[in-house]
Structure 1
Amino acid sequence: MNNKVLATLEYDAVKQQIRPYLATIAGEIELNKLQPTSDATDMQSWLQETADAAKVLRLAAGITIPRLADVKPYMQRLKIAASLSGTELSQVGRVLFAAGQVRAFFENLEADKDEHFDALAPYYTRLMALPELTRRVNTAIDGDGRITDEASPELHRIRQAITGTENGIRQKMQEYTRGKSAQYLSDPIVTIRNDRYVIPVKIEYRSKFGGVVHDQSQTGQTLYIEPADVVNMNNRLRENQLKERHEEERVLAELSEILRPEADAILQNAEILGHLDFVNAKARYAVKIKAVEPEYSPDNHIRLMQARHPLLDQQKAVANDIIIGEDYTAIIVTGPNTGGKTITLKTLGLLQIMAQSGLFIPVGEYSTVGLFDDIFADIGDEQSIEQSLSTFSSHMVNIVDILAKITPKSLVLFDELGAGTDPQEGAALAMAILDAVGAQGTYTVATTHYPELKVYGYNRVDTINASMEFDVETLKPTYKFMLGIPGRSNALEISKRLGLPANIIEQAASLTSDDSQELNDMIQDLVERRNEVLSQQVELAKQVVENRKLKNDYEQKLDKMEMQRARTLEEAKKEANHLVAESRQKADRIIADLQKMQRDGASIKTNKLIDAKGALNALHQEPSLENNRILRKAKAVKDQAIKVGDTILVREYGQQGVVKRILKDGKYEVQMGILKMVLANDEVEKQEATAAVSAVKKPKSQSHGVNTAKAINRANASATLDLRGERYDAAMAKLDRFVDSALLNNLSSIEIIHGKGTGAIRKGVTEYLRSHRAVKNYNFTGPDQGATYAELG
């Protein structure tokens, strides 16, 4: 994208607002390089990264990354076998530690919150923790780059020797500064000269101490003397200090050596941490300006709802709806100066650029952005003294350059098009330029004072008029952007309110053409009608809120009543089932007696026994959800497939509307008369039948039970019933019929497969077998005790 439009729209100012949220040099480098993309895949990927970072910010207060320096130069030095300093190693240690912490942070967040961050996962999963190397570096080097005593045992020993020697020297020196010798000193203090401890001795007492003179005061009256009896101690101290320095150099070389093989991994960690820091900063900036993620429109339909300029105070900025690309590709904005036309132009251009940079934008929900290969702007005073160009000439030079570069995928912003020359010629030129841009299919927004362009905007295809509202009562602009209404001239009205004599106002009005007066009257009427509609919308919106509240209260009460009714019905069915169970036990005893009689020789038909038992089982009541309103409603919502343009019934009002847009979260934008509403799926009902309803056969469930009438050895065979996947009541009914059939076929044993699951069916099977008189014994079988074996008799 051209640098001129980025400067005109103050893109760098937006980037500067992001900078305070960065913690790493790598993140700052990425921010400096940030430019809007013209690739749809990149744009959506960048927006998704920001969305993931915003999710992390919401779940865990953001990604915590410490201040990190740019370690790239350090890694380059390692590769040429150089050793790093303590400060440089400290910065590398911070990168190593942060890499491990950030990776662990995301892994824990995914586990604890059961969330996934698909856009950021390719980054944090490539972070290499290197725990042993991290521990080694951060143990040996502290945060300020100082080598610690734990860096090596030898360094620890040397430093202990230095401390002991220094303490001995101080004790010896104190004998001079506090004892009888203090009278020979210029000052009773111990100081250092040439890295050795000395005392300030008056020159006339030089012979009292002996030793070595290291320095003399400017007056020559004081000598800095190292007493003879501390010379050896100072020598030992100096020797240990040299050993300390050599050992520190050895430790630095050793640490650099163990870091060298991992230089590429460390550099990769630093780059990834920088990128995560960058997306984290974008998310924090979005929170600051109350920005949201825009939807991307492949059709280049721009709908910036309640858009605000990001560089204005978000509490005071006037929000406006800016729409282009669906029904028109050009907007002609008219209105008075200082009314907000230019800031509206800049808001459109800057928000589009921000979205193409992967930044959230300060707009309302369900806003959409397009994708442009370039954006051009002719905004502001382009007068150039150096090039001897007037304002008009300079604008023309810029416009000529724009016309040479635009494509059907460009956006052009013209501020005061055709200004700076004769009004008649300027208006004609402006219309010709707009025609040339429109012929390319380029999106255009132009501001102007020329009344001729209002007629142009009305007559041209794919073009719409717009204006900035002006309050003639207060003589102040409201900064409200009004699509579809051209701006009217307020000069006479303002002059009248400011006290210009009435005769002058009347004379000016008489000199104004009738067409101009009629146009102004028409515009005034449109504004008044628009304000009436807006007032109605406000009232309707209030009614919507009140009606939704009443509806929610009603549905909650209705749900509560239905739940109570369902519980009462279930309790009644359980009571009925209890009575049936008692009757079934009596029937079991009767059937057992009849079977005994049959075995003793009496003639009793088996099918009569089964029919009698089946009639008894039919008394059992299955729980029914057919009358459950909530389930019916959920099924109706699932079944209806609503498309753009469909006529729907808004249940809340009993009114019909038309679906204008399908939104991303299962909601619809519905036009109901003059009112536009966002409604959920369960709040609307499709009106026209789009396809014949066809009955769908319910597939027969495959029974895992065994045919007890065939292929069974009636003396020793084992039959199986599979109850897995059955509901409890249905399973108990099937078990009862199965046991009856097994008894009538004289089976000696059966197996019931119930699985483990929640244990409800397993418990029901156990209770049934325990209470059945024909069951002699039963026990769990299978590797997971998911079946029960029973012996009959």
Structure 2
Amino acid sequence: MLQATLQILEFNKIVALITLFTVTAPGKKLAQALRPLQQRDQVELSLQQVNEARALLEDRGSPPLGGSYDLDKTLEHVSTSGAWLSVTALLEIADSLDAARACGRYFGAEELAPSLSTEVKQLELLPDLRDLIRASINPAGTVLDSASWQLADLRSQSKVLRGRIRSVLESMLSDSHFAGVFQEQLITERNGRYVVPVRVDHRGRVKGFVHDESSSGQTLYIEPAAVLERNNALQALLHEEQREIERILLQLAAHVGGASTQLAANQRILAHLDYCAAVARFARLTDANMPQITAKRQLELLQVRHPLLLLDNEGQPRQQRAVAIDLRLGKKHDTLIISGPNTGGKTVALKTVGLLFLMVSAGLPIPCDPKSRVYLFHKIFADIGDEQSIEDNLSTFSGHLARIRRILKHVDGNSLVLLDEAGTGTDPAEGGALALAVMDRLRAVGARTVVTTHLNMIKSYAYLHERVENAAVEFDPRTLAPTYRLHYGVPGASSAFTIARTMGIPGKVLSQADSYLGRQERDGLAMVEQLNSLHTQLEQDRREAQQLRNQAAQEREKRRKLLSEFEQKREQLLDKARQRAEQMVSETQAQMRRLLKETRQLGTKTDGIAVQQQADLMRQVRETKDQLHTQLPEAQTRYPAPTKVTSGEIVRITTLNTEAVVRQQNGKEVELSLNGKVMRLPLTALEIFEPRRFAKTAKRTTSVRSHIEYSNFKPQLEVAGLRVEDALPQVDRLIDDALLHNWKSVTVVHGRGSGALRQAISELLAHHRAVTAFHAADDSCGGNGTTVIELGE
């Protein structure tokens, strides 16, 4: 049954495509033997290794497998005692060893390919054998002199003897005694012996043996008697050289035979690497991914495409992109009934389910969303297409029944069953009833089933059983063309009249056909079409809403990143300020120690000048200390981000470093009131105080600008007599409270004194972002002892 199912679902075409992408003969053999695997761990390992090969392909380009040859016949030949190998076979072995070494480097990246890197570590590089072959045979296939000293000596003798023979013949060619005898001044070879071209009419003037004549008969190729002995000696040397070459090849063959086990293992590994790289190329061209293997008996194929709609038979991408669909089975429903118009994609959807399942079972990635989930059913059955056979006396309906009989005989609870055009080929009522009975049987044994149909009886089956679901292939009534999308929860209309109209069937015929339909049938068809139209519109609205939600999420993420970057920059600036402050502390402490030392030295003197100097030094100490405190950045107390807030609670906005009042909380977002304005921020952008603070609720008026009671706020602050480090936080708090209460002007009474406190407050106000201006008060209001602060919006 499996072989028939593989053929029906066109798994062989996937095998052929992957075979196209192999580069070695062993890899091609391995690809051609591709079949579904038996164990889950085998499937997961194969998927992982293909994923690793794809990562390497994208990072490093194609693997160096071109030198890997099929060595099966060679290794079988050397297993025979006394066998020797040709130079071609030996070079293939050396090339295969070079390929193994190169693949060891290519696939050895553990960070990109941990599984494949473990596999290539098992390659036996056999450097001694490889070097021996390379030292004995050059790439052109010639046995080198370095192969043995005997061969080198024989070739040296042959070279000397050749030179002597040519010297004798050249003397003859230039001898005036033989003028006009030779056809041309040329020394050539016939049958491995040196000869000269003699004109046929001067043959008697050169003693020797005739080895050949020209096609015209005007030239004879004669071996002169003067070189006869030397030619004989050369032939003897050449025979000895050939025997020595055969001895060398026999010796190399023995070395190969001793390493035949390692070479065979290398070939298996290299073939598997070639296969993984071929599948990786296929996956890249089809945008295939590795789905999740689940232990639950369900299929959740998201955004899947049929691979044969993506690549042609030559492995080239098709121009028209296939429509992606979602195919779900087993999570909430054990049976899926797909209906809709002809040419709408029902059978393609059915074949897509079966073929993609087979591919995953064989350890192949599939064109899908990576979140897809696949259960590895133990069996798969398919009744797709016409099995009519004149020879076997089978009609279309009989062919379907034969398949159904085989399916019912072998199906169990771990089976996936695919039935195309259930109930067709006979009377619709009887065929539909038989199809329903078959579906009952399949559901009873626990199988997962996908059915395509046009019969309303089968469509209505989904409404009678809880775990059976309808799905419709979409048909656009405006363009009168299928969209190939799949909608769940509604049956599909066959739209036979619509398709017939697009195919050119005369209108009168269609009108007559419509008259044969009963009113109830017409109403039912119209209702199905309306349901499909409504579902299509709802699906479009859902997609648009999802797109808007995605855009909103992107905007929120963008805003969060901007706030995060702002906070990071703010922290960086504060860190720099603190580092500068620490440096100033060190410098000031050193200066204070120096001044105090001078003060103590002057403390022993009693004259008025010394006392005055001591007083001056003490004043410098105080001024230096005050200057230090005015320039030290105040450490900001950090509070935790809240998980829940209460209406009326005061919180701090971390990025703005200001306080706001909570209006209400909506999930993880909080609606805040700040200066009479409403804003929304996530909880992570806020801090709560410890202990928690709450604003007093103001009495309702016609114009409410804040939830904080105004009567508690005083626009004037007394800090006279306070130290700088105690006064500045109170001034900063005064400004914040004034902003919250919408005051435009406040005053700070600091007194005249030495002027240090006034100077520190002025520096604070000069850098405060909410202060637009500040100045001394009128003399009647305190003069230089009071500062008036003007605030912006």
Structure 1 and Structure 2 fold alike (TM over 0.5) = yes
> Contact 1:52 / 1:120 at 8 angstroms: preserved in 2?
yes
Q: Paired residue for 1:39?
A: 39
In structure 2, C-alpha distance between the alignment counterparts of 1:385 and 1:622, rounded to whole Å: 97
Q: Paired residue for 2:129?
A: 133
Q: Which amino acid aligns with 1:94?
A: D
Q: Which amino acid aligns with 1:34?
A: L
Q: Which amino acid aligns with 2:65?
A: I
In structure 1, C-alpha distance between the alignment counterparts of 2:510 and 2:4, rounded to whole Å: 45
In structure 1, C-alpha distance between the alignment counterparts of 2:635 and 2:76, rounded to whole Å: 75
In structure 2, C-alpha distance between the alignment counterparts of 1:523 and 1:684, rounded to whole Å: 46
In structure 1, C-alpha distance between the alignment counterparts of 2:167 and 2:636, rounded to whole Å: 97
- Relative to structure 1, is the Cα distance of residues 510 and 213 closer, same or farther in structure 2, using a 3 angstrom cutoff? closer
Structure 2 residue 122 is matched with structure 1 residue 117: no
Question: Residues 716-765 of structure 1: CA distance to partner in whole angstroms, max 9, x if unpaired?
Answer: xxxxxxxxxxxxxxxxxxxxxxxxxxxxxxxxxxxxxxxxxxxxxxxxxx
User: Which residue among 146, 149, 174 is the counterpart of 1:150?
Assistant: 146
5 Å-filtered alignment, 1:42-53, equals 42-53=42-53
Question: Residues 504-555 of structure 1: CA distance to partner in whole angstroms, max 9, x if unpaired?
Answer: 7666545433443333233222222222223223433443454344334423
5 Å-filtered alignment, 1:302-321, equals 302-313=299-310, 315-316=319-320, 317-321=322-326
Q: Paired residue for 2:282?
A: 285
User: Which residue among 438, 454, 464 is the counterpart of 2:459?
Assistant: 454
In structure 2, C-alpha distance between the alignment counterparts of 1:72 and 1:627, rounded to whole Å: 74
- Relative to structure 1, is the Cα distance of residues 625 and 216 closer, same or farther in structure 2, using a 3 angstrom cutoff? farther
In structure 1, C-alpha distance between the alignment counterparts of 2:683 and 2:422, rounded to whole Å: 48
5 Å-filtered alignment, 1:624-703, equals 626=638
Q: Which amino acid aligns with 1:469?
A: E
> Contact 1:345 / 1:413 at 8 angstroms: preserved in 2?
yes
Query: How far off is 1:280 after superposition?
Result: 1.3
User: Which residue among 477, 498, 516 is the counterpart of 2:521?
Assistant: 516
- Secondary structure, counterpart of 2:114 in structure 1: coil
> Contact 2:292 / 2:374 at 8 angstroms: preserved in 1?
yes
Query: How far off is 1:343 after superposition?
Result: 1.6
Query: How far off is 1:412 after superposition?
Result: 1.0
In structure 2, C-alpha distance between the alignment counterparts of 1:329 and 1:142, rounded to whole Å: 66
In structure 2, C-alpha distance between the alignment counterparts of 1:19 and 1:566, rounded to whole Å: 59
- Secondary structure, counterpart of 2:115 in structure 1: coil
Q: Which amino acid aligns with 1:250?
A: R
Question: Residues 404-447 of structure 1: CA distance to partner in whole angstroms, max 9, x if unpaired?
Answer: 01111111111112211111111111111111111111111111
- Secondary structure, counterpart of 1:119 in structure 2: helix
Query: How far off is 1:499 after superposition?
Result: 8.1
Question: Residues 213-260 of structure 1: CA distance to partner in whole angstroms, max 9, x if unpaired?
Answer: 224567866533112233244234323322321221222123233334
Question: Residues 610-640 of structure 1: CA distance to partner in whole angstroms, max 9, x if unpaired?
Answer: xxxxxx9xx999988957999xxxxxxxxxx
- Relative to structure 1, is the Cα distance of residues 205 and 363 closer, same or farther in structure 2, using a 3 angstrom cutoff? same
- Secondary structure, counterpart of 1:230 in structure 2: helix
Q: Paired residue for 1:272?
A: 269
Q: Paired residue for 2:712?
A: none
In structure 1, C-alpha distance between the alignment counterparts of 2:342 and 2:71, rounded to whole Å: 52
Q: Which amino acid aligns with 1:2?
A: L
In structure 2, C-alpha distance between the alignment counterparts of 1:7 and 1:154, rounded to whole Å: 61
- Relative to structure 1, is the Cα distance of residues 450 and 173 closer, same or farther in structure 2, using a 3 angstrom cutoff? farther
Q: Paired residue for 2:245?
A: 248
In structure 2, C-alpha distance between the alignment counterparts of 1:267 and 1:239, rounded to whole Å: 40
- Secondary structure, counterpart of 2:222 in structure 1: strand
Q: Which amino acid aligns with 2:27?
A: G
Q: Which amino acid aligns with 2:128?
A: E
- Secondary structure, counterpart of 1:311 in structure 2: helix
> Contact 1:86 / 1:145 at 8 angstroms: preserved in 2?
yes
Structure 2 residue 395 is matched with structure 1 residue 398: no
Q: Which amino acid aligns with 2:105?
A: A
Query: How far off is 1:564 after superposition?
Result: 2.5
> Contact 1:100 / 1:131 at 8 angstroms: preserved in 2?
no
Query: How far off is 1:18 after superposition?
Result: 1.1
5 Å-filtered alignment, 1:215-364, equals 215-216=212-213, 222-313=219-310, 315-316=319-320, 317-364=322-369
In structure 2, C-alpha distance between the alignment counterparts of 1:628 and 1:563, rounded to whole Å: 17
Question: Residues 68-123 of structure 1: CA distance to partner in whole angstroms, max 9, x if unpaired?
Answer: 2222333344344333221211111112222222223334x34xxxx152322331
Q: Paired residue for 1:469?
A: 474
- Relative to structure 1, is the Cα distance of residues 75 and 492 closer, same or farther in structure 2, using a 3 angstrom cutoff? closer
> Contact 1:87 / 1:144 at 8 angstroms: preserved in 2?
no
- Secondary structure, counterpart of 2:422 in structure 1: coil
Q: Paired residue for 2:196?
A: 199
5 Å-filtered alignment, 1:773-788, equals none
In structure 2, C-alpha distance between the alignment counterparts of 1:684 and 1:455, rounded to whole Å: 49
CA RMSD of aligned residues (A): 3.7
Question: Residues 260-310 of structure 1: CA distance to partner in whole angstroms, max 9, x if unpaired?
Answer: 433222222221111111111111111122211111111132122221111
- Relative to structure 1, is the Cα distance of residues 288 and 207 closer, same or farther in structure 2, using a 3 angstrom cutoff? same
- Relative to structure 1, is the Cα distance of residues 376 and 145 closer, same or farther in structure 2, using a 3 angstrom cutoff? farther
> Contact 2:670 / 2:682 at 8 angstroms: preserved in 1?
no
5 Å-filtered alignment, 1:421-436, equals 421-436=426-441
- Relative to structure 1, is the Cα distance of residues 127 and 590 closer, same or farther in structure 2, using a 3 angstrom cutoff? farther
Query: How far off is 1:355 after superposition?
Result: 0.8
- Secondary structure, counterpart of 2:4 in structure 1: helix
Q: Paired residue for 1:86?
A: 87
- Secondary structure, counterpart of 1:383 in structure 2: coil
Q: Which amino acid aligns with 1:209?
A: V
Q: Paired residue for 1:20?
A: 20
> Contact 2:336 / 2:470 at 8 angstroms: preserved in 1?
yes
Deviating more after overlay: 257-266 vs 338-347? 257-266
In structure 2, C-alpha distance between the alignment counterparts of 1:60 and 1:481, rounded to whole Å: 39
In structure 2, C-alpha distance between the alignment counterparts of 1:238 and 1:650, rounded to whole Å: 101
Structure 2 residue 411 is matched with structure 1 residue 414: no
> Contact 1:303 / 1:324 at 8 angstroms: preserved in 2?
yes
User: Which residue among 467, 476, 491 is the counterpart of 2:496?
Assistant: 491
- Secondary structure, counterpart of 1:465 in structure 2: strand
- Relative to structure 1, is the Cα distance of residues 547 and 7 closer, same or farther in structure 2, using a 3 angstrom cutoff? same
Deviating more after overlay: 439-448 vs 137-146? 137-146
Question: Residues 298-333 of structure 1: CA distance to partner in whole angstroms, max 9, x if unpaired?
Answer: 113212222111112355222211111111121112
Query: How far off is 1:190 after superposition?
Result: 4.7
In structure 2, C-alpha distance between the alignment counterparts of 1:295 and 1:246, rounded to whole Å: 63
In structure 1, C-alpha distance between the alignment counterparts of 2:252 and 2:593, rounded to whole Å: 87
In structure 2, C-alpha distance between the alignment counterparts of 1:462 and 1:2, rounded to whole Å: 27
> Contact 1:198 / 1:226 at 8 angstroms: preserved in 2?
yes
Decide which structure has the larger Cα Rg and report it.
2
Question: Residues 480-499 of structure 1: CA distance to partner in whole angstroms, max 9, x if unpaired?
Answer: 23332212132344556778
In structure 2, C-alpha distance between the alignment counterparts of 1:187 and 1:459, rounded to whole Å: 104
Q: Paired residue for 1:213?
A: 210
In structure 2, C-alpha distance between the alignment counterparts of 1:288 and 1:496, rounded to whole Å: 38
Consecutive unaligned residues in structure 1, runs of 5 or more: 594-615, 631-648, 655-682, 687-793
Question: Residues 374-413 of structure 1: CA distance to partner in whole angstroms, max 9, x if unpaired?
Answer: 2111111101111111111121111101110111111111
- Secondary structure, counterpart of 1:532 in structure 2: helix
Structure 2 residue 102 is matched with structure 1 residue 101: yes
- Relative to structure 1, is the Cα distance of residues 417 and 168 closer, same or farther in structure 2, using a 3 angstrom cutoff? farther
In structure 2, C-alpha distance between the alignment counterparts of 1:407 and 1:177, rounded to whole Å: 94
Deviating more after overlay: 556-565 vs 48-57? 556-565
Q: Which amino acid aligns with 1:295?
A: Q
In structure 2, C-alpha distance between the alignment counterparts of 1:250 and 1:625, rounded to whole Å: 91
Q: Which amino acid aligns with 2:210?
A: V
Question: Residues 441-479 of structure 1: CA distance to partner in whole angstroms, max 9, x if unpaired?
Answer: 111111122111111122223111122222344333332
What is the TM-score with the length of structure 1 in the denominator? 0.70
Query: How far off is 1:502 after superposition?
Result: 7.3
